[in-house]
Copies of this chain bind each other. A is one copy, B any other.
């Protein structure tokens, strides 16, 4: 089961809203909107995507990593290594 199971609906809704933001961006570009207005909307969509990522990370730590830690052993090490790699990718994206 995914770590975000209990937030699945909410995350789906947020992603649909972000899809709408990306479509809004296409419309702006199609209408030759002013560069700065397009950039403002890109910053908003990026922020929204990052928020979803932070929510997913929270769920991942609270469920997948935590449960692996409770079971202990090599799997717990792997989960931590994997979570850190995901955080690094996010910070650098």
Contacts and interface: CB of A to CB of B under 8 A. Distances in A.
Given A61-B83, A70-B70, A91-B90, A42 B35 contact: no
Interface in A67-93: 67, 69-70, 72, 76-77, 80-84, 86-93
A62 B83 CA distance: 10
Q: Is the interface of A mostly helix, strand, loop or mixed?
A: helix
Q: State the number of copies, please.
A: 4
Interface in A37-78: 38-40, 42-47, 49-50, 52-54, 56-62, 64-67, 69-70, 72, 76-77
Nearest to A4: B35
B49 A32 contact: no
Given A45-B49, A53-B43, A91-B91, A35 B19 contact: no
